[in-house]
Structure 1
Amino acid sequence: MKTKLFIFLLLVGSYAAKVSAQTQYVWKTATAGGYTYKYVTNDPTHSRFYTLKNGLTVILSPTNKQPRIQAYIAVKAGSKTDPADHTGLAHYLEHMMFKGTDKYGTLDWSKEKPLLDKIDELYEQYNSTTDDAKRKEIYKEIDKVSGQAAKFGIANEYDKMMAAMGGQGSNAFTSFEQTVYTEDIPSSAVDKFLTMQAERFRAPVLRIFHTELEAVYEEKNRGLDNDGRKAQEAMFEALFPNNNYGKQTTIGTIEHLKNPSLKAIRKYYYDYYVPNNMGIILSGDFNPDVMIKKVAANFNYMKPKAIPAYKFAPEVPITSPVQREVFGPNPENLTIAFRFPGASTKDARMLSLIGSILTNGKAGLFDLDLTKKQKLLSASAFPYVLKDYSVLMLRGNPVKGQSLDDVKALMLAEIDKLKKGDFAADLIPSIVNNLKKSTIQQNESYGNRAGNLMSDFTAGVDWRTDLASINELSTIDIAQVKAFANKYLTDANYVIVYKRQGEDKNIIKVDKPPITPVEVNAGSQSPYVKMINDMPDNAVQPLFLDYAKDIQRAKAGPVDVLSVQNKDNAIFRLYYRLDMGSWNNKLLPMAAAYLQYLGTDKKSSEDISKAFYKLASTFSVSAGTENTNISIGGLQENFGASVSLLEDLLANCQADDKALASYKVRYRKTRENQKLNKGAIMQGLVNYAQFGAENPFNNVLTDEEIDNVKAQDLVDILHSLTKYKHTILYYGPATAVQAGATLAKLHKTPATFLPYPAAKKFTRAVQTENQVLFANYDMVQAEINMIRNQQPYDVNQTASVELLNNYFGSGISSIVFQNIRESKALAYSTYAYYSQAAKSGDSDTFVAYVGTQADKMNEAIKAMNDLLTTMPESEKGLLAAKDNVRKSIQTDRITQDDILFNYLDAKRRGLDYDLRKNTFTAINKLTLKDAVAFHDAELKGKPFTYCIVASDKRVSDDDLKKYGTLVKPDLKAIFGY
């Protein structure tokens, strides 16, 4: 134990330590298993960096905490390298990399290829034709030939292979200078995975293109409804007039979306998808000596070639503020952006420190001066680091009655403080210690490890420099911060984007082209997929929780302590959990939020925030509907001091009328903003559908109740929290007995606990007929949630639910996705999900979702209704779904404090065992007939409530009435205020 503690103290040592005594990070070279690699000394992730003979970078970071591997295949190319006359091309290609090759995704390549070649030529004609009538004729032919070609294609074979091997999170993303393909796989399936990935990147076939192109149209239209994306694009356009960061967007222009070229896409693939421009990053449970041989054996076929150089004229200094305006229905906000050097520079690393000085969640200038003092609704500062340049973004949201220029003045005043060095002397060492704690926490996760390594690879950041950055930052003093800030953050060299509320008159929607649904051949399978599925994998035994053994129990005075010991590092997390929430007292959430603005008789609110941050500790009080959690986390060496600080605050916080008055102003503004948020409106409609007009969503304080709230009312609630019965949850290096003994001295409790206030009861609506709940919102898209209240929770149905979700409605390989997006191109996002109740006695819920263009709404709803009436049957698809459920459970490891929350979740359902064990056993016995029977019993012919958020200018009442009785609750009815 002493050795572990000594090592940990080296990591989180005091700021005063001299640089010479700090951990040294040096690149070294080693050879093992016949392969030479580089590594960095003292790297806590033990990452190895290989370069194969063909130039392919392979980065391996082994950790055996879970029998899974996070895999990224990254290409150093994105929208920045799109041709100027074909913007959005890298993103197109990312979508098409899921369509297969000449070996999989096809029933008969010899018959499919001539048709695909013809489609290529038709798109070239379409691309170069300007006459509208001719373009329509060409498109008709594209649609016709695409339908013929689709008869020989098999949609989503890639996703079915991934599902069958137990893959999770199959996806990809494109940004300015990276296209990254991501998978989370069982370590036992690595041979299958590498074999199919090597095939995937060998010779991708651009099949089923016109329906996928329509999905990209949908994505573009979703962006037109996203005020945040529009503001960011305006910011980049102003910051980077010479660089493609600002000259073109990742998703591309509407004009280029309408005129795609498959030949241009294919050229992009051949130019950039080459081994010397790619990296394979793996973190998880494997032996790196074995893994590198497997990767090399699969990818040594790739041939290197020269990569087209990206050239741009350097940006000229900004000499006066550049202003942009963006309009949309969301609440107003302001963004200020300063330009900095790129990711690999020391200045970019310094920028991360600057961001933390301004915003760190507790003790930054923005945190203390703007948020804590409630001068703005919210304010943040954060770096956006890219290869060529970086950006410091300041974002602020006004309180009611405040102009965006007021927001600007307040944020720039904090920048002036930064330039003067007007911040606490101990802030920098506190930031460094918090960064060290954060690094330890991130390295616990194989997913985070892989993500950090991938980001450095694509941005061209040296891993040694990244590891050493905390050492580097710990040497920075206030004078250096002042010099840096005065160099870059002048009064004139920024871009400012005003996001105003109002109609965006510049929106040009991508219109829906006529598309004939194509075959997806869901029940078919290519010989290649059979070969992959038949490959042996190393069996992994599932590991189920035994609550009696995996959870330690103790007492802290009269309070039960449930504990899981952290044997990996010195991080702790502590929770006081109450079975009481807003249903017991509507004031509870308001009191929980009010606490952050309060001090005690000895400490101001600012002093408390600084003290927590100095200890590298975090705390929060969060009130849900039925539970409240008081949580705190940090370093075990500061456990006593952190708990004492929290206990003092809870017991001795003092009413502050001025803080409450400011909070009420911000609280009302937040509520007003919610009414302008389409997601919040939809959440309200869904609750309305499930419970009726009076529901958990609108169970909130009325305006009059807010007016009548007194500061002492809220403080009394905070003082009483630990006087109610609660449970202590602890995850950390101490045992339960040790933690309980410490807490018995620190945690104050009464001789007798108070009884919980009676909870308000909500009864789920009984649906006897179809109903439509509609809310008007100025948007291009239509958001549709089809809701059905199901039977009360039944533990015996869990395996059937898991199978239905996996086979029918969730994921890219599901029936819903294949039919609605792949075949009919009716949505960018669609799914269906059966959700079992979280508490015994409550009812389950089924949700079917489609996000689509408003002019496709009727077709999309019909497509979903058809699937709810008749579920397509595929034995192979069902086997893949069963394999995914089984292998996911086999390799699922519930660890750390998740064990405690898993136990509490089971307890709420009346269970005293790990439910996964039953599901794992039962899933093998289920057949396609069982899946169809469950679907038909729960969904077929049942009434649904259609929750629809769309513009009443694009959706008519007559259309809405087709689906049921139309109800248009106003915003007050939805929100309760």
Structure 2
Amino acid sequence: MKKTTLSLIFLFTTLVQVVAQPKAYEWKTADAAGYPYRYVTNDPMKARFYTLKNGLTVILSVNKKEPRIFSFIATRAGSNTDPRTNTGLAHYLEHMLFKGTDKFGTLDWAKEKPLLDQIDALYEKYNKTTDTTERKKLYREIDRVSGEAAKFAIANEYDKMMASMGSQNTNAFTSYEVTAYMEDLPANALDRYLAVQAERFRQPVLRIFHTELEAVYEEKNRSLDNDPWKVQEALYAALFPTHNYGQQTTIGTIEHLKNPSLVEIRNYYNKYYVPNNMAVLLVGDLNPDEVIKKVDAALGYLQSKPVEQYTPAPEAPLTAVQVREVYGPTPENVRIGFRLPTAVNNLKTGAVITICDELMSNSAAGLIDLNLNKQQKILGGSSTVDFNKDYSVWTLSGRPKQGQALEEVKNLLIGEVQKLKKGDFDDNVIASIVSNYKLNAIRQLENNYSRINPLLESFIASKGEDWHNEVKKLDALSTVTKGDVVAFANEHFKDNYVVVYKHKGPDKNIVKVDKPEITPVEVNREAQSPFLSKVNSLPMDDIKPVWLDYRKDFQKSKAGAAEVLYVKNTENELFRLGYRFPMGTYHNKLLPIATQYLQFLSTDKYSAEQISKEFFNLACTYTINSSGEYTTVRLSGLQENFEKGARLLEHLLKNCKANDEALEQLKGRLMKARADAKLNKGAIMQGLMSYAQYGPKNPYNNQLSDSELKNLTSTQLITLLHDLFSYQHQVIYYGPQPLAAFTEKIKAVHPLAQFKPIPALNDFKQVEQTATQVLFADYDMVQAEISWVRNTDQFSPALAPTVELFNNYFGGGMASIVFQTLRESKALAYSTYAFYGVPQKKDQKYTLTGYIGSQADKLNEAIAGMNELLNQLPESEKMLETAKVSIRKNYQTDRILQDAIIYNYLNAQDLGLTTDERKLIYEQLDKLTFKDLQKFSSTNLANKPYTYCIVASEKRIKSDDLKKYGEVKKLSLEEIFGY
């Protein structure tokens, strides 16, 4: 179980009883509707594990909170099972399983197939050819025949089918041991979903291959620009000198990507995509007795066959520290990895590893948290565990302060490991860790996605056989003693680790995947296979949408001078409390610094370390977040600890004491963090886009200057913290306590007298783009990233239906015009999108934002491609109807629950709305036509001035190319960041 920091909450009475009298977690067998299944007694998810006659695993868990079902179809095959001669194969097979079969994705299979056979043969010949000239000639022929074949293909028909049934999060992923395909679908779409999946895995066709392969090339190039990814690869390569964890990357080597074999891909599919190696996982609003019949009817035809599992030889023990060095443009850091035993079917080992990890770092009271982060000895540190099938990996990470050597960070981290080995930690922390984990298990039950993930991990590890251990793990944690931890640490945490030093500097080992010459292929937007029509004709029971009623769905009250907004928790004993101030960084730039300073402060009653421990022992979590116009203080936990947690938070903010030494250390860390931000390409792009939207003085560079930060005093920050609760704010509560009782309680623990007025607002106004301009930032990277920014008209509630439909149709997913054209047809990017952004306030303007990340040598093609779409909205009645149906079906099953109701209301207030705008969109959607979208696009987007924000390397981009698009302004990092 990975570490979670947002739901650390105290163990309530019934769970205490569980610790005292452990329940029995045993496999049992039952039979319902003619299908035998297994289950684990006292499993809170009540998961059923079926095995169909063909060996297919089916795992079902019921959750009735909303009328949706989350699904994974998983295959126990990933990069571990790639042939050594074709690494990356599992991953690009994953991409190809969205392309269809001989029944969908094709206009005319009889005419398409001979061309695809030619492409197969050409790739085999291409792979065996070494002469550069001959290879280029063969690739041109591949490109030509692919263009002919694409005339008979229907791009993205899978995505269209899923969108038409209201599915969300259509995607897939590949890792070491699994490839999984996910959907989040309406509960009434299950018949359609299963019909599509049954056909999808029957006989996939590898069509439109060379453009999709180019998308994989782009993904590889993105990985070359991703320093954390490179660090992880280096760590695993050293930890696993023989195991495929370290010897085969998921995306594959450049050499293998350049020489793909469709024959090998097909062989791989036939070898591993068999029912006895696969699972269907469904979690949500379902009837298991009905669903298992449907899954069997849909997928029972699949034929099982023996599967050769990856069975590596055991790794030899590491007997010395292994050092690796990685270079790149991002900030320096250290990562340390220990290879540990597998926790699969080893309950005690998994529990002890988890406790070790949490004792080291739990974001509150771990050794790294208290001794390194709280004392500001490093810029930041943490730990985490990867529980893989064959081995576990424990990772420690640390970032250096300004001028601090990476080796010193490493030594500090290892020093905390030595304390673990000596037992130099508070015994009580183990009990608090256990309590937090148990309550986090309750949180996990609230969400389909969080429910399904552990089930997927269990299938990957053991085909579900160790699920009883996963359920038992919560109790197993309770049995771990200090002696267990010390013994395990001394056995496994020796000089047997790998340390990766990430240095700032050029990576001389980067070899990018060169851009092949690709002719754009047909996408046949208006085409539709008979199979799609058949699927769309399958009945879907009506689900009535549920709109928020701001007069009924939450309650209002008063507590002193504060407004109280209340939603009752009828499900469990958890609470969430919020204090929301209409005052943020636009009012006072010191707010985010003051809240960081707070974590290092003592009071007259507690030291800073004791405060962290007190919150952790209560299993209460508090956060303080300041955005532009709002600051929100949040506290969450168990209702029985509400008063203690609230009083502790009150005490901390009102009684924190100045600590000049801590402030000086914080200033140093902030200076280093600010310098590090300038090395982050994502942060640079954010700054460019804010500059484009607001001009030279914008929300992003609304920062203290270096001199202002240097001259900052404790008095300024302490005054702000002490006074925070005296400013106007609302009280937001979601919990089990009745409103009247809560109101009396909050007045007692959080006195609400007359409020101070809110300071003046530094109001940032969006600029008007009157001429096309290029904002450029130089960054040492393989790719080029381009964003389009244009502010348009002021917000209007009446535009909501048009904006929603435009975004879904034009640039909002894999079934959209932008994705289909720029990725599927032209192979210009791995990631691309465009959306018409709705402002947060009624007096603000909409902003069109487009994005494409491509190889640097594709910059001109990428810009031309997006501009063509912005200037002339392509027409497709079929895609428009798909967009409408998708929106309609999503709204029918969309449910806003818990305190999200209150925050939805508050956001609506900012826009001047008095009702749930989703109702207006739903009711007006069918009245909209393509002419409405065309008029909208022509009025706001077509042939209008844009600001292009480009982050790329000057060594890979020609300045004359940039000048073609408008006046070029190269921004300095100081202009972007404000310091």
Q: TM-score range by the shorter chain?
A: over 0.9
> What secondary structure is seen at the aligned counterpart in 1 of 2:552?
helix
In structure 1, which of residues 401, 408, 411 is the aligned counterpart of residue 410 of structure 2?
408
What corresponds to 1:137 in structure 2?
A: 137
In structure 2, which of residues 890, 896, 899 is the aligned counterpart of residue 897 of structure 1?
899
Relative distance call for 1:134 and 1:11 in structure 2 (3 A) is: farther
> What secondary structure is seen at the aligned counterpart in 2 of 1:548?
coil
- Residue identity opposite 2:480 in structure 1: I
Q: Structure 1: how far apart are the matches of 2:58 and 2:14?
A: 28
Deviations 1:422-479 (A, max 9, x none): 1111100100111011111111101111122112211226111011111111111111
What corresponds to 1:78 in structure 2?
A: 78
Please state if 1:574 is matched with 2:577: yes
Q: How does 1:479-558 map to 2 (within 5 A)?
A: 479-490=483-494, 492-558=495-561
Q: Structure 2: how far apart are the matches of 1:531 and 1:931?
A: 29
How much has 1:735 moved relative to structure 2? 2.1
What corresponds to 2:744 in structure 1?
A: 741
In structure 2, which of residues 919, 944, 947 is the aligned counterpart of residue 945 of structure 1?
947
> What secondary structure is seen at the aligned counterpart in 1 of 2:632?
strand
Q: Structure 1: how far apart are the matches of 2:28 and 2:615?
A: 39
How much has 1:160 moved relative to structure 2? 0.3
The alignment of Structure 1 onto Structure 2 pairs a total of residues equal to 966
Q: Structure 2: how far apart are the matches of 1:536 and 1:271?
A: 35
Is the Cα contact below 8 Å between 2:523 and 2:825 reproduced in 1? yes
Is the Cα contact below 8 Å between 1:553 and 1:737 reproduced in 2? no
Please state if 1:917 is matched with 2:919: yes
- Residue identity opposite 2:681 in structure 1: K
Is the Cα contact below 8 Å between 2:11 and 2:436 reproduced in 1? no
Q: Structure 1: how far apart are the matches of 2:589 and 2:519?
A: 52
Is the Cα contact below 8 Å between 2:891 and 2:922 reproduced in 1? yes
Q: Structure 2: how far apart are the matches of 1:214 and 1:495?
A: 34
What corresponds to 1:594 in structure 2?
A: 597
Q: Structure 2: how far apart are the matches of 1:590 and 1:374?
A: 15
How much has 1:554 moved relative to structure 2? 2.1
How much has 1:557 moved relative to structure 2? 2.4
Is the Cα contact below 8 Å between 1:593 and 1:621 reproduced in 2? no
Please state if 1:561 is matched with 2:564: yes
Q: Structure 2: how far apart are the matches of 1:930 and 1:664?
A: 54
Q: Structure 2: how far apart are the matches of 1:953 and 1:9?
A: 60
In structure 2, which of residues 444, 451, 467 is the aligned counterpart of residue 463 of structure 1?
467
Q: How does 1:278-427 map to 2 (within 5 A)?
A: 278-344=278-344, 345-346=346-347, 347-427=349-429
How much has 1:496 moved relative to structure 2? 0.6
In structure 2, which of residues 665, 668, 692 is the aligned counterpart of residue 665 of structure 1?
668
How much has 1:202 moved relative to structure 2? 0.6
Is the Cα contact below 8 Å between 1:241 and 1:315 reproduced in 2? yes
What corresponds to 1:680 in structure 2?
A: 683
How much has 1:627 moved relative to structure 2? 0.2
Q: How does 1:27-42 map to 2 (within 5 A)?
A: 27-42=27-42
How much has 1:10 moved relative to structure 2? 5.0
What corresponds to 2:627 in structure 1?
A: 624
How much has 1:128 moved relative to structure 2? 1.1
Q: Structure 1: how far apart are the matches of 2:700 and 2:132?
A: 49
How much has 1:844 moved relative to structure 2? 0.8
> What secondary structure is seen at the aligned counterpart in 1 of 2:599?
helix
How much has 1:544 moved relative to structure 2? 0.5
What corresponds to 1:4 in structure 2?
A: none
Is the Cα contact below 8 Å between 2:172 and 2:179 reproduced in 1? yes
Is the Cα contact below 8 Å between 1:99 and 1:158 reproduced in 2? yes
What corresponds to 1:800 in structure 2?
A: 802
- Residue identity opposite 2:957 in structure 1: V
Q: TM-score with structure 1 length normalisation?
A: 0.98
Is the Cα contact below 8 Å between 2:766 and 2:791 reproduced in 1? yes
How much has 1:11 moved relative to structure 2? 4.5
- Residue identity opposite 1:416 in structure 2: Q
Please state if 1:120 is matched with 2:120: yes
How much has 1:593 moved relative to structure 2? 1.3
Structure 2 spans left out of the alignment, 5+ residues: 1-9
> What secondary structure is seen at the aligned counterpart in 2 of 1:881?
helix
Q: How does 1:505-904 map to 2 (within 5 A)?
A: 505-750=508-753, 752-904=754-906
> What secondary structure is seen at the aligned counterpart in 1 of 2:551?
helix
Q: Structure 2: how far apart are the matches of 1:36 and 1:298?
A: 18
Q: TM-score with structure 2 length normalisation?
A: 0.98
Q: Which moved more, 1:492-501 or 1:732-741?
A: 732-741
- Residue identity opposite 1:707 in structure 2: K
Q: Structure 2: how far apart are the matches of 1:765 and 1:759?
A: 18
RMSD, matched Cα: 1.1
Q: Which moved more, 1:461-470 or 1:582-591?
A: 461-470
Q: Which moved more, 1:720-729 or 1:929-938?
A: 929-938
Q: Structure 1: how far apart are the matches of 2:239 and 2:513?
A: 27
Is the Cα contact below 8 Å between 2:11 and 2:439 reproduced in 1? no
Q: Structure 2: how far apart are the matches of 1:164 and 1:575?
A: 38
> What secondary structure is seen at the aligned counterpart in 2 of 1:375?
coil
Q: Structure 2: how far apart are the matches of 1:972 and 1:29?
A: 66
Q: How does 1:192-211 map to 2 (within 5 A)?
A: 192-211=192-211
Relative distance call for 1:625 and 1:688 in structure 2 (3 A) is: same
Is the Cα contact below 8 Å between 1:555 and 1:737 reproduced in 2? no
> What secondary structure is seen at the aligned counterpart in 2 of 1:12?
helix
Is the Cα contact below 8 Å between 1:691 and 1:762 reproduced in 2? yes
> What secondary structure is seen at the aligned counterpart in 2 of 1:947?
strand
What corresponds to 1:89 in structure 2?
A: 89
Q: Structure 2: how far apart are the matches of 1:201 and 1:838?
A: 44
Q: Structure 2: how far apart are the matches of 1:920 and 1:594?
A: 46
Structure 1 spans left out of the alignment, 5+ residues: 1-6
> What secondary structure is seen at the aligned counterpart in 1 of 2:16?
coil
How much has 1:223 moved relative to structure 2? 0.3
Q: What percent of counterpart residues are identical?
A: 54
Please state if 1:935 is matched with 2:937: yes
Is the Cα contact below 8 Å between 2:39 and 2:49 reproduced in 1? yes
Q: Structure 2: how far apart are the matches of 1:279 and 1:268?
A: 17
> What secondary structure is seen at the aligned counterpart in 2 of 1:401?
coil
> What secondary structure is seen at the aligned counterpart in 1 of 2:815?
coil
Deviations 1:822-858 (A, max 9, x none): 0010000000011111111111111010000000010
> What secondary structure is seen at the aligned counterpart in 2 of 1:721?
helix
What corresponds to 1:3 in structure 2?
A: none
> What secondary structure is seen at the aligned counterpart in 2 of 1:256?
helix
What corresponds to 2:3 in structure 1?
A: none
How much has 1:8 moved relative to structure 2? 8.2
Q: Structure 2: how far apart are the matches of 1:143 and 1:833?
A: 32
> What secondary structure is seen at the aligned counterpart in 1 of 2:800?
helix
> What secondary structure is seen at the aligned counterpart in 2 of 1:619?
strand
> What secondary structure is seen at the aligned counterpart in 2 of 1:924?
helix
- Residue identity opposite 1:898 in structure 2: A
How much has 1:660 moved relative to structure 2? 0.6
What corresponds to 2:157 in structure 1?
A: 157
Q: How does 1:210-289 map to 2 (within 5 A)?
A: 210-289=210-289
Q: Structure 1: how far apart are the matches of 2:479 and 2:566?
A: 38
